[in-house]
Amino acid sequence: MASSFPMKQTSLDLNLSIKRTRKQEFLAQMERVVPWAALVELIAPYYPEGKNGRPPFALETMLRIHFMQQWFSLSDPAMEEAFFDTPLYREFAQLDAHARLPDESTILRFRHRLERHKLADQILATVNDLLTTQGLLLKAGSAVDATLIAAPSSTKNKAKARDPEMHSSQKGKQWYFGMKAHIGVDADSGLVHTVRGTSGNVADITEGNSLLHSEETDVFGDAGYQGAHKRPDARAGVTWHVAMRPGKRKELDKQNKPRDALIDLLEKIKAGIRAKVEHPFRVLKRQFGYGKVRYRGLKKNTLQLTTLFALSNLWMARHQLLKAQG
What are the 10-residue block averages of pLDDT along the chain, 326 residues in total?
49 56 95 98 90 83 98 96 94 89 96 96 97 90 95 75 89 88 95 97 96 93 94 94 86 84 87 92 96 94 98 97 91
Strands 174-186 and 141-150, by their bridges, are antiparallel
Residue 299 dihedral angles phi and psi, to the nearest 5°: -60, -55
Question: Residue 177 forms beta bridges with which residues?
Answer: 168
One-character DSSP codes across 114-144: HHHTTHHHHHHHHHHHHHHHTT----SEEEE
Q: At what angle do helices 318-325 and 298-316 cross, to 10 degrees?
A: 50
Question: Which among 269, 321, 276 is positioned nearest to 186, based on CA atoms?
Answer: 276
Helix (H, G, I), strand (E, B) or coil at 234: coil
Instruction: Give the Cα separation of 311 and 71 in Å (integer).
Output: 8
Query: What architecture does CATH give domain 139-325?
Result: 2-Layer Sandwich (3.30)
Q: What is the pLDDT of residue 70?
A: 97
Ordered by start, the domain boundaries in the chain are: 10-117, 139-325
Cα dihedral 316, 319, 324, 326 sign: positive
User: In whole angstroms, how far apart are CA 320 and each of 33, 88, 189, 311?
Assistant: 10, 26, 11, 15
| Nearest-10 Cα torsion for 207, 212, 213, 218 | 180
Instruction: Give the Cα separation of 142 and 303 in Å (integer).
Output: 22
Helix (H, G, I), strand (E, B) or coil at 40: helix
- Asked if residues 243 and 267 have their Cβ atoms less than 8 Å apart, the reply is yes
Percent helix, strand and coil across the chain, each to the nearest 5: 50, 15, 35
CA 22 to chain centre: 21
Give start and end residues of each alpha helix (H) in the chain: 22-33, 36-43, 59-71, 76-85, 87-92, 104-116, 119-133, 204-208, 246-250, 258-274, 278-282, 298-316, 318-325
Amino acid at 53: G
| Cα-trace Rg, the chain | 22
Q: What is the pLDDT of residue 234?
A: 94
Helix (H) or strand (E) holding 54: none
Q: What is the pLDDT of residue 156?
A: 67
Q: What is the pLDDT of residue 10?
A: 43
Amino acid at 177: F
Q: What is the pLDDT of residue 257?
A: 87
pTM for the complete prediction? 0.89
